[in-house]
Every structure is written in structure tokens, then in C-alpha cells.
Amino acid sequence: MRNGLRALATAVALTLAAPAAAEEPSATVDEVIAKVLEAAKFLHDKGQAGFSDFNNSARWVWKDSYVFVFSCRDDRMIAHPLRPDLVGRPILQMEDEKGTMLFQDLCAAGEGAGGGWVEYWWPRPGEAKASRKISYTQSTQVSFQPDVRVAAGIYDDSMTVEQLDARAERAVMPQKDAP
């Protein structure tokens, strides 16, 4: 029953995201950064009770992107709106088709205060063939589970990780100065 509800929630999320996808098929860098920062704040405020929201809510799925949640310390996927089969499974030994240990890289990139971007190969939603994906990841403090990361990505062949890190740093800096 639980898997059925999860599948239904994923179908609803994709259906709700479809009109936006028809207008503009690809998520932007700024949208990804904003969603990841929003997700980090949401989990910080809501705590572990907020994890299920990422599996069952259209709020975290848009265009060709989505927010996923994982724990580096616990080596597991906490929430994934499009791949419920990954939830609860070990992630640190996962490789993309080019041998990149993508979650090890995501864990390292998310350690800093401003988060970071990681390049790897992953299928776009609805496709079987992997494409170049660059995900932004940020750590967040969640009660009783301090090592939580949130991430979302773009499918882009032109921007470098360095360019994206600079964009993310500019986006995060104003928040650091806020009271």
C-alpha cells in the first residue's frame, strides 16, 4: 500500500510539473539553487517529519528537476520523488556510467557553508539514457540527524562546475549577511 501511495504521489507530481515543462523544458541554475536552499530551510525548520514531503509532494519537482535528500554519515537515500526504489538504500558506492562515485562527490561538495556543484551522468526524468547532470548540494541541520544533504540538478552541457559554484556563492552570500 505504501509503495502504491508513493507511486501515485510521483505520478501526481509529474503531472503537476508537466505544464511548466511544456513552457520551458529545462530547470535553470537559479531555480535549482533557490529550491535547494528552500529545501534546506524547510528541513531545518520541520525536522525529520519533513522527509516524507520530498517523496510525496509536487512542490519539490519542477520542469526536468527535483530535490532529493540523503545522508552521507548514514550512507542512505532519505527521499527521492522520482526513484522511490532508492529510498533507504546505500548510496556511497553508487557509480554513474563513467565510474564517478557521485554520492561521495556530492557529500564532499555539500560540506562547505555554501554547498557546491558536482558533475555526473544520470538519466533525465522519463529517459533511459544518461545525460550530463550537474547537481547543487547543500547540507542542513535536521534535529537528531545532523548530516543531511539536499540536492537538485540541471542537465547542461555548457556550464562548468567552477562557473556554477560562483553563481551559488553569489546566491548564498546575501543570506549570510542577513540577521
CATH for 2-177 is 3.30.450.20
| CA nearest to 64, candidates 164, 159, 167, 152 | 152
CA distance 170 to 154: 18
Output helix, strand, coil percentages for the chain, rounded to the nearest 5.
45, 25, 30
Residue 5 has pLDDT above 90, yes or no: no
Query: CB within 8 A of 127, min separation 6: which ones?
Result: none
Q: What is the pLDDT of residue 16?
A: 40
End-to-end CA distance of the chain: 45
149 or 5, greater pLDDT: 149
State percent of the chain over pLDDT 90.
61
Residue 24 has pLDDT above 80, yes or no: no
For residue 12, how far is the Cα from the chain centroid?
Answer: 19
CA distance 50 to 53: 5
Here the cell at position 143 is 534535529
Q: Mean pLDDT throughout 150-155?
A: 96
| CA nearest to 5, candidates 62, 61, 57 | 57
Query: CA dihedral defined by 77, 53, 37, 144, rounded to 10 degrees?
Result: -60
